[in-house]
Amino acid sequence: MYFPAYRPRRFRRTENLRRMIRETILAVDQLVYPLFVMPGRDVQNAVGSMPGVFQFSVDRVMAEVDEIAALNIPGVLLFGLPSMKDERGSEAFSESGAVQQATRAIKDRYPELVIITDVCLCEYTSHGHCGLLRGHEVDNDATLAILSKVAVSHASAGADIVAPSDMMDGRVGVIRRSLDESGFEGVSVLAYAAKYCSAFYGPFREAADSAPQFGDRRAYQMDPANSDEAMREVALDIEEGADMVMVKPALPYLDIIRRVKDEFDRPVAAYNVSGEYSMIKAAAACGWLDENRVMMETLTAIRRAGADLILTYFAKDAAKLLQS
Ligand code: PBG
């Protein structure tokens, strides 16, 4: 059909007409809010590069969780800061670590709130890399045993989902087996399957104090130029037992989200990362962008690309708008 028989503008005339043919719906059900927890009492440190984001001690995080639960956000993603770092990132699997304590405290008050925990060593190692070092290289296989200890410690604190973000080969299978052997067959694995080596993580490394002390993460995170390789990563993680797969970052990788959604039969999560958040906050603070509109457009675009779940620092702001 051609003009004037078909006029696409007819369905754009009024808001109710637009509503009727809208293809992508963004709902609070699809949002997860990341939280940074740290040891100590009565601490709430603002993260300078991420307005509205804080590092919380476990006692102080509860007020934030009250707000998240009141907004009906279904889940949180926990990152932890240790009281001391060492070569092996030992505090990552300590029963009294900030993530483990926060998980217990949150589950105690909100048993229904989904707790996803980040499984990685970079916040916990003195060198800031995501695994154990041999010389200046990250030793893949030696790291796997520690990662599975971390995952089991999170599961025993009450995590519903563990999310390995380290990008070691084989970690999903090893973690799945350790969880099962420890009686946590009901705990899910959300694999950071296609995690790119991205400069958009810059502000996060301030929030999580996890910048590598030498070099970068190119030897384990993916090359931003690759798409087919992401499909191989996702296929491997699914074979190894991933229940859900993640693409990260989100906005510069919408094509990857779409391919994963089309080619695999698993729920797809997308991580709208720190740099994506900070860019919008900074431009809005300068008066250069309409923050709420850009935020909703961004989250809708990530959904349209194929994400079932979005991990985003905008979760609270978006939930407020969606409920108003
Ligand atoms: C840990 C981890 C990172 C992020 C999530 N988990 C940083 C990194 O790989 O350096 C980034 C999240 C964000 O930027 O919001 N490995």
How many whole angstroms separate alpha carbon 115 and alpha carbon 60? 17
Question: How far, in Å, is the centroid of ligand 1 from the Cα of 176?
Answer: 22
pLDDT at 1 over 90: no
Q: What is the pLDDT averaged over residues 218-234?
A: 97
Write out pLDDT tens, residues 171-199: 999 999 999 999 999 999 999 999 999 99
Contact in structure between 264 and 257 (CB atoms under 8 Å): no
pTM for this entry: 0.97
Strands 44-46 and 54-57: antiparallel
Write out pLDDT tens, residues 133-181: 999 999 999 999 999 999 999 999 999 999 999 999 999 999 999 999 9
Q: What is the pLDDT averaged over residues 23-42?
A: 98
Question: How far, in Å, is the centroid of ligand 1 from the Cα of 241?
Answer: 22
Strands 137-138 and 31-38: unpaired
Candidates 195, 261, 281, 316; catalytic one: 195
For residue 297, what is the DSSP state?
Answer: H
Work out the mean pLDDT of the chain and round it to a whole number: 97
pLDDT at 324 over 90: no
How many whole angstroms separate alpha carbon 299 and alpha carbon 140? 34
Q: Which token pair is 120?
A: 């990685």
Domains and CATH numbers, the chain: 25-217+227-245 (3.20.20.70)
Looking from the CA of residue 272, the nearest atom of ligand 1 is 15
Residues with CB under 6 A from ligand 1: 118, 120, 122, 130, 165, 201, 204-205, 210, 273-274
Confidence of residue 244 (pLDDT cuts 50, 70, 90): very high
How many whole angstroms separate alpha carbon 59 and alpha carbon 42? 7
Nearest CA to ligand 1 atom 14: 201
pLDDT at 266 over 80: yes
Q: Which of 120, 197, 218, 302 to mutate to test the pocket of ligand 1 (most atoms within 8 A of CB)?
A: 120
117's enclosing H/E stretch is strand 114-119
Write out pLDDT tens, residues 268-317: 999 999 999 999 999 999 999 999 999 999 999 999 999 999 999 999 99
Write out pLDDT tens, residues 63-100: 999 999 999 999 999 999 999 999 999 999 999 999 99
Question: How far, in Å, is the centroid of ligand 1 from the Cα of 276?
Answer: 12
Question: How far, in Å, is the centroid of ligand 1 from the Cα of 124?
Answer: 13
Is residue 249 reached through a cis peptide bond, with omega within 30 degrees of 0 on the bond before it? yes
- Please give the share of the chain, as a percent, with pLDDT higher than 90: 99
Determine the angle formed by the axes of helices 254-263 and 291-305, rounding to 10 degrees: 30
N- to C-terminal Cα distance for the chain? Answer: 40
195 noted as active-site residue: yes
Confidence of residue 2 (pLDDT cuts 50, 70, 90): confident
Candidates 85, 248, 261, 316; catalytic one: 248
320 noted as active-site residue: no
Contact in structure between 118 and 163 (CB atoms under 8 Å): yes
Is residue 4 reached through a cis peptide bond, with omega within 30 degrees of 0 on the bond before it? yes
Contact in structure between 286 and 308 (CB atoms under 8 Å): no
Nearest CA to ligand 1 atom 7: 201
Question: How far, in Å, is the centroid of ligand 1 from the Cα of 135?
Answer: 23
